[in-house]
Chain A
């Protein structure tokens, strides 16, 4: 049987906790209140015949709601100084170089890097994939124009066409390199 003031005690505790979490991330706030509510349920299930004192003892052992809220309250924004330059790692350099020389490998390295955003990765992948799909052997920037010149059946526009196609990986690499220099914006994370 429930203690006479079970609802008042438990809901009162949870309300104070929720209030203390006022400034925190809404999802973390909901999650903690839900976790502590589950704690009450578990602790009460272990009691044979609960009294108000039992419930107050559960609250005591949980600790002050304000203290618990403070544990979550680490919504401190940790921002890197805006001027901190991005330190290049071998991964990004290799990704750009291999985008030109061996696109599929370059693309995989690019996807592994956490520097570029999803949008930038999609754009660079799309450029590379178009080139790759339209004829990989001809897509290397230097091989393409030469082969185009040597194969007369492609017509007079062939060198231009293949040359344009061949330069696409360069475009993708240049785009990635350009975006790399734009990553100096402060990165904000929740502690």
Chain B
């Protein structure tokens, strides 16, 4: 059962990442920090990188490299693409319905 929860969390993390990119482009480490602030969201920080690579391959995010203010190498910024926007909007709608349905079912079981 614990494995199932991990899988579920992984699937949902994808949309949480997309949501973080909604306002402005962000780089990987910035996303790690933002998602790390939410308890239980990111069980291991490294998983965000394969996830971002996959979102990029699927065309849900675009990547651009921007120079850093310090002397370091350019940072990889992720930006939400138009399909990414659509996926997020559609997920928000689905999630609202699903959340209500599950809450109702779980409460019904306790009665």
Contact = CB atoms under 8 A, between A and B. Distances in A.
A63 B44 contact: yes
B98 interface: no
A72 B47 contact: no
B51 interface: yes
B29 A68 contact: no
Contacts of B73: 38, 41
B70 A71 contact: no
Interface residues of A, number: 19
B12 to A, nearest CB: 15
Interface residues of B, number: 19
A48 B75 CA distance: 21
Contact of A61 (B27, B45, B52): B45
Nearest to B45: A61
Contact of A71 (B32, B45, B51): B51
Contact of B47 (A28, A41, A43, A63): A63
B47 A68 contact: yes
Contacts of B53: 28, 31-32, 35, 72
A185 B51 CA distance: 30
Contacts of B76: 35, 38
A54 B15 CA distance: 31
Given A36-B46, A61-B45, A67-B44, 9 more contacts: A35-B49, A39-B29, A39-B46, A45-B70, A63-B43, A63-B44, A64-B44, A71-B51, A72-B53
21 contacts: A32-B49, A32-B53, A35-B49, A36-B49, A38-B28, A38-B29, A38-B73, A38-B75, A41-B72, A42-B28, A45-B70, A45-B72, A61-B45, A62-B46, A63-B43, A63-B46, A64-B44, A67-B44, A68-B50, A71-B47, A71-B50
Interface of B: 27-29, 32, 43-47, 49-53, 70, 72-73, 75-76
